[in-house]
Amino acid sequence: MSRIGRKPIVIPPKVDVKIDEHEVAVKGPLGQLTWPLPPGVTAHVEDGHLNVSRKGGGAELRALHGLTRAELSNQIEGVLNGYERTLELTGVGYRAQIQGQSLTFNVGFSHPVLLDLPEGVKATVDKQTVVSLKGIDKRLVTQVAAKIRMVKSPDVYKQKGIKYSGEALRKKAGKAGKK
């Protein structure tokens, strides 16, 4: 059995879990999420814990067992507390602006870069250089953060670009030159 898949998930009192034949619905104070159960993987609730099990032992089914348990755990945490990802813009003249449901970045290109935010992700911009993303779906929040980071990844020499808050970057030494 998968070590991750075997671990039971504690269901907090404010969270409601409903299991259909092919889908698990998680409802909490912040919203509702669903996750489809792959064929061969089942879920059941007992004593305030959600347990995920599988039928068979194929490699693909073992992987789906652990994945399903991890996703359901993330969804329970998401509808209870939500997820937040913060990005920082570093560089002269680099800034971000929010306009409705889209973000505009000025990061050294000849034109501003416009990114539309998907439904379920909210963004706030502080001091024009810090972008905070919030939502209940961990997958969606981190995917949007990765797309934003890809707009202008940090340079290895000058460290200019968009990076995650708290991300440690390795700085390369430049060319030594003649003396």
Tokens linked to 18: 């409903």
What are the φ and ψ backbone dihedral angles of 137, each rounded to 5 degrees? -100, 110
pLDDT in tens, 97-145: 998 889 899 988 899 999 999 998 999 999 988 999 999 999 999 999 9
| pTM for this model (two decimals) | 0.84
The domains of the chain, with CATH numbers, are 3-80 (3.90.930.12), 83-164 (3.90.930.12)
The tens digit of pLDDT for each residue in 50-77 reads 898 888 878 888 888 889 999 999 999 9
For residue range 31-48, what is the model confidence (pLDDT) as tens digits? 999 999 988 888 889 888
